[in-house]
């Protein structure tokens, strides 16, 4: 049975090699989600479409042409851009008629209010100085959003609406996309001079869907994709398994 130690050594060597082969791959996978080729234009609809709950926003981006504005501005901007993307639920929770009460120009302004002419990562948002300029403007100048951060939780406020930023759809220069669970209603359109269709101001208190965090307190904004570790785990299991088999043979 002199063959046993030899085969064991061979197997161990093979397995070590296997581990070495695995590890660079693991490292390459860990840092970030699949990186789209930086050359082509960014497909805004594509980013939102993948997540399946932004049909109203996609329709509005198209209807108002703001989607095209984003694409062409991204192409020429050195600052990048950010989009705060309300979900279909957010639109459904608006007072009925809130959207239909807007004329075409106001719809454009509403959508532009969700876009900033600058790229902000989460850590940028935590420390940014308020108010933050959006793409929307009117008689009173550029309309702003306010961001407040604590830990790695970020709230965005319009003065009428405060909502937590729960989910990162994309955080990669030059374009960041964040989910928001409420439509960001600008005071300039929905504030003071209430038209018949204006929604009640920010229904933040009481158990409304505002606090729908689906993750542990600290990790709410952590991008997904720590799947790389599993490979190492499997590699080790494989090595141990083969070593056991070798020992038994
Ligand atoms: C963007 O993505 C959408 C859906 O994912 C697709 O229908 C559309 O053709 C894409 N547009 C471009 C310019 O690639
Ligand atoms: C985009 O809007 C145009 C009208 O502005 C419409 O003809 C077209 O069907 C819309 N496309 C999508 C994908 O909604
Ligand atoms: C992007 O910019 C380049 C020049 O910087 C221009 O040639 C190209 O047509 C632009 N593409 C789009 C989609 O605007
Ligand atoms: C965000 O807003 C919620 C309530 O709307 C509040 O409880 C929380 O403390 C705020 N967080 C930050 C960072 O301002
Ligand atoms: C936003 O922040 C600025 C500066 O801190 C403040 O003057 C303004 O009142 C804030 N607006 C809202 C709507 O919270
Ligand atoms: C919470 O996230 C998990 C996956 O991480 C998902 O299966 C579940 O449906 C989510 N729940 C809500 C309420 O979004």
Q: Where are the domains of the chain?
A: 44-190
Q: Give, rounded to a whole angstrom, the gap between the first and last alpha carbons of the chain.
A: 9
CA of 120 to the centre of ligand 6 (A): 26
Any idea which ligand is nearest the CA of 130?
5
State percent of the chain over pLDDT 70. Answer: 61
Round the average pLDDT of the chain to a whole number and report it. Answer: 76
Q: In this predicted structure, what is the pLDDT of residue 162?
A: 97
Contact 199, 94 (CB under 8 A): yes
Helical spans, DSSP H, in 77-172: 88-92, 104-112, 122-127
Judged against a pLDDT cut of 50, whether residue 205 lies above it is answered with: no
Q: How far apart are CA 44 and CA 61, in angstroms?
A: 9
Q: Over the Cα atoms of the chain, what is R_g?
A: 25
Helical (H) or strand (E) element with 119: none
Provide the pLDDT for residue 246. 63
The proportion of the chain whose per-residue pLDDT surpasses 90, expressed as a percent, equals 53
62 CA distance to ligand 2 centroid (A)?
6
Rounded mean pLDDT, 82-111: 95
Q: What is the pLDDT of residue 193?
A: 56
- State residue 213's pLDDT score: 38
From 62, 64, 65, the mutation candidate for ligand 2 (largest count of ligand atoms within 8 A of CB) is 62
Q: Which of 70, 75, 175 to mutate to test the pocket of ligand 3 (most atoms within 8 A of CB)?
A: 75
pTM for this entry: 0.67
Of residues 163, 166, 162, the one with CA closest to residue 223: 166
Mean pLDDT of 124-149: 94
Q: Which residue has the higher pLDDT, 216 or 111?
A: 111
- In this structure, the strands spanning 175-180 and 162-172 are antiparallel
Assigned fold of 44-190: FAS1 domain (2.30.180)
Work out the average pLDDT over 171-191: 95
**Which residues, at least 6 apart from 158, have a Cβ–Cβ distance to it below 8 Å?**
113, 145, 146, 184, 185, 186, 187
Q: Look at residue 67 and tell me whether its pLDDT is greater than 90.
A: yes
Least confident range from 45-49, 73-77, 223-227, 245-249: namely 223-227
Pairing of strands 81-86, 175-180: parallel
The reply to whether ligand 5 has any atom less than 6 angstroms from the CB of 191 is no
For residue 211, report the distance from its CA to the centre of ligand 6, in Å.
14
Average pLDDT over residues 223-248: 51
Order across the sheet with 115-116: list the strands: 115-116, 81-86, 175-180, 162-172, 153-157, 141-150, 132-138
Q: What is the pLDDT of residues 36-61, one digit of tens each?
A: 445 578 899 999 998 789 999 999 99
Q: Does the pLDDT at position 216 exceed 60?
A: no
Which residues sit with their C-beta closer than 6 Å to ligand 1?
A: 43, 45-46, 49
pLDDT of res. 35: 46
Q: pLDDT-derived band of residue 72, with 50, 70 and 90 as boundaries?
A: very high
Any ligand 5 atom below 6 A from CB of 159: yes
Cα–Cα distance, 61 to 59 (Å, whole number): 6
Q: How many alpha carbons fall within 13 Å on the CB side of residue 89?
A: 10
| 153 in contact with ligand 4, CB cutoff 6 A | yes
**Is the CB–ligand 2 distance for residue 63 below 6 Å?**
yes
Cα-to-chain-centroid distance, residue 28? 22
Comparing 15-24, 121-130, 175-184, 229-238, the range with the smallest average pLDDT is 15-24
Question: Which of the residue ranges 19-33, 75-89, 224-238 has the most confident prediction, judged by mean pLDDT?
Answer: 75-89
148: exposed, middle or buried (Cβ count in 10 Å: 0-12, 13-18, 19+) = middle
């Amino acid at each position: 049975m002199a063959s046993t130690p030899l085969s064991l050594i061979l197997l161990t060597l093979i397995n070590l090699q296997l581990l070495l082969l695995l590890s660079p791959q693991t490292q390459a996978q860990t840092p970030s989600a699949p990186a789209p080729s930086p050359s082509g234009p960014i497909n805004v609809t594509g980013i939102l479409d993948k997540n399946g709950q932004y049909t109203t926003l996609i329709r509005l981006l198209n209807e108002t042409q703001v989607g095209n504005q984003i694409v062409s501005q991204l192409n020429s901007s050195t600052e990048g851009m950010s989009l705060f993307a309300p979900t279909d639920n957010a639109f459904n929770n608006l007072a009925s008629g809130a959207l239909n009460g807007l004329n075409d120009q106001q719809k454009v302004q509403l959508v532009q209010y969700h876009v900033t002419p600058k790229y902000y990562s989460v850590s940028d948002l935590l420390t940014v100085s308020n108010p933050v300029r959006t793409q929307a403007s009117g008689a009173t100048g550029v309309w702003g959003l306010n961001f407040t951060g604590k830990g790695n939780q970020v709230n965005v406020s319009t003065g009428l609406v405060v909502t937590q930023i729960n989910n990162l759809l994309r955080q990669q220069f030059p374009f960041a996309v964040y989910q928001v669970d409420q439509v960001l209603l600008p005071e300039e359109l929905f504030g003071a001079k209430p038209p018949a269709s204006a929604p009640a101001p920010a229904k933040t208190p009481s158990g409304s869907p505002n606090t729908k965090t689906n993750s542990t307190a600290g990790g709410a904004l952590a991008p997904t994709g720590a799947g790389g570790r599993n490979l190492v785990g499997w590699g080790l299991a494989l090595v141990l398994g083969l070593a056991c088999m070798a020992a038994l043979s």
